[in-house]
Each structure stands twice: as C-alpha cells, then as structure tokens.
Amino acid sequence: MNVSEVARLKEQITSEYEAGKSAMQGPSQGSATHLFITNKMEKMCADIAELVAIAGEEAMVEALKGLQ
C-alpha cells in the first residue's frame, strides 16, 4: 500500500465533499449548481472506490468519519 496515495485520496475525498456541500449551502444557480454537485459526488465516489481497492474498508470508514 502506498501511504502517500492513501493520504492523497483521503484529502481528495474531503475536498470533493466540502466543495459539494458549499455549493448546496450557497446561493442557488439552478441546474449548473446541480451538475456541479453531482460531478463532485461522482468524483468522491470514484475516489472512495479506489481507496477501498488499495487500502481496504477501514481506510474508507476513517476517511468518511470526519465528513459532516
């Protein structure tokens, strides 16, 4: 397992989540906001799948615990 890759994925998951969350809480931009949030959540899901593949489910749980 590459520790720096795991750290990068965890950071990316947090970044995508925060960007989507901020877009939901900001002023509405209609369908553009919806597409932006959908894109961020799809990227986050792909990063989670990659994290599980290289580091296991425990790493996923750890990464998701801090998201609120």
- 3-state DSSP percent of the chain in helix, strand and coil, to 5: 85, 0, 15
Compute CA distances 63 → 17, 26, 57, 67, whole Å. 11, 25, 10, 8
Q: Under a CB-based contact definition with an 8 Å cutoff, are residues 18 and 1 in contact?
A: no
pLDDT in tens, 11-63: 999 999 999 988 888 776 677 788 999 999 999 999 999 999 999 999 999 99
Region for residue 27 given its phi and psi (left: phi exceeds 0; alpha: psi -120 to 50; beta: otherwise)? beta
Instruction: Supply the pTM of this predicted model.
Output: 0.86
